[in-house]
Amino acid sequence: MKKWLITLGLAFALTACGSSDPDEVVESPTDEETTEEEVAETETDNSTFEIAVIPSQSTGEMQTGLDNLQSYLTEELEREVVVTQYPNYNAVVEALNYNHVDLAFLGPLTYVIAHEQSGAKAIVTIEVDGSSFYHSYIITHADNEWANLDELLADAGEVDFAFGSISSTSGHLIPGLHLRDLGYYESEDQNEFNQVQFAGSHDVVATLVQNQDVDAGAIDSAILNELIEQGTVSADEIKILWESQELYQYPWVVPAQTSDELVTQLQEAFFAIEDPEILSIFGGATKFVEAEDSNYSDIVDAAREFNMLTLE
């Protein structure tokens, strides 16, 4: 699911979690709301078009694709476009809520929070080899004797388990909810495992499992596939113990007040992208396709059940 969502180093992950809590759900806008008239005015002037992306791999590895996307959209929109990597998931939600960015690439959970809080709209997603779906995996090292999740949970008291980010759909929400339903997990501090940690990103989870620094971890299926294809992770050293239901891919999201005209312009621009440098950093995408809010209804239900939504 996302080559560009792949190789975030440990040092960057720690930096991103620095002085503020990256897992704190931001509040919806109040006195800083932007009117439709103000948004329309920014759409027609020559102001910079701001794009936010989640920093889930090292800047150097994704920079060529981001630079190409920035140049391409500058030409297509006929205005300056700037792509910025934000420090964590919820910083992007806040930027959308207060109209500080014009477009953002989010995980499904992060998107539904933004949609619930400020009406942000999903307009585009990725397709990989003809599919706009991925899964959450729980993985272990191939040398471990567990053949499935039930066998691992039988030894839960001896298992060190790693999630990605607490705000990640496939790295925490979906596997965490499943483990909670089975009676093994409520939070980092309340669970039946020997230890639970948040590694901060999918690639770090894969590295921890491969190096046997943890016994099992939750990861995005497409990211794991990308890591294996890159040679960063060896398929011979990873065993999949559990696979979730299908999850709809990461959306590109605009603020609620964005005009239909601009949405159409953005969609047409993304649908026409064929540059492999751009496509590759978004989970090895083969193309961009249309997305809408209804695609993420199952994530809304899961987030509500796991108390990760702030509803009006």
pLDDT tens per residue, range 3-20: 444 433 333 333 333 333
The pLDDT of residue 63: 83
| Least confident residue range of 29-38, 215-224, 252-261 | 29-38
Locate all alpha helices (DSSP H) within 6-125, ordered by sequence: 10-16, 36-44, 59-77, 89-97, 108-118
Would you say residue 98 has pLDDT above 50?
Answer: yes
Contact 302, 177 (CB under 8 A): yes
Mean pLDDT, range 211-218, rounded to an integer? 98
Measured CA to CA, the distance from residue 296 to residue 300 in angstroms comes to: 6
Q: Which residue has the higher pLDDT, 76 or 64?
A: 76
Measured CA to CA, the distance from residue 8 to residue 108 in angstroms comes to: 19
The pLDDT of residue 89: 80
Mean pLDDT, range 89-106, rounded to an integer? 91
Strand-pair partners of 105: 53, 252
**How far is the CA of 219 from the CAs of 78, 97, 118, 188, 238, in angstroms?**
39, 28, 28, 17, 12
Residue 117 amino acid letter:
Q
Geometric angle at alpha carbon 1, from 181 and 153, rounded to 5°: 30
pLDDT tens per residue, range 281-295: 887 789 999 999 999
Q: Which residue from 249, 251, 250, 252 is spatially nearest to 73, judged by alpha carbons?
A: 252
Measured CA to CA, the distance from residue 78 to residue 166 in angstroms comes to: 38
Pairing of strands 287-290, 121-127: antiparallel
Query: What is the largest distance, in Å, between two alpha-carbon atoms of the chain?
Result: 62
The pLDDT of residue 90: 79
pLDDT tens per residue, range 144-199: 999 999 999 999 999 999 999 898 999 999 999 999 999 999 999 999 999 999 99
Q: Domains of the chain: which residue ranges?
A: 3-129+249-305, 136-244
The pLDDT of residue 6: 40
Class (C level, CATH) for 136-244: alpha beta
Would you say residue 250 has pLDDT above 90?
Answer: yes
Would you say residue 47 has pLDDT above 50?
Answer: yes
Same fold yes or no, 3-129+249-305 and 136-244: yes
The pLDDT of residue 226: 82
Q: Which 3 state secondary structure label does DSSP give 302?
A: helix
Which CATH number describes the domain made up of 3-129+249-305?
3.40.190.10
Mean pLDDT, range 245-259, rounded to an integer? 96
